[in-house]
Homo-oligomer: A and B are copies of this chain.
């Protein structure tokens, strides 16, 4: 089941460089892991912004919240979730 997600990141301005680097490395590892598992099939940077558009493919709403709220950057992100359905004009649909 597909969901469209927009994430906007706002790191605390006084985050120490080491803490910041470690946080971003853990976020990246988790993102790669979720992509490899098939739960996060699409991920794009929004040009000029510290933000992304993503597509998630999960079993349920609960699964999606569990995934999103476990991201290391979750406390620093504003997240907007939109449920997606098949489009009747989708090729092959």
Contacts and interface: CB of A to CB of B under 8 A. Distances in A.
A28 B83 contact: no
Contacts of A80: 48
Contacts of A35: 90-91
What number of copies of this chain does the assembly contain?
10
Contacts of A48: 5, 64-65, 68-69, 79-81
Contacts of A5: 48
Label chain A's interface by main secondary structure: mixed
A73 B44 CA distance: 23
A12 B11 CA distance: 13
A88 B79 CA distance: 19
B43 A87 contact: yes
Given A46-B84, A47-B83, A61 B2 contact: yes
B85 A45 contact: yes
A60 to B, nearest CB: 5
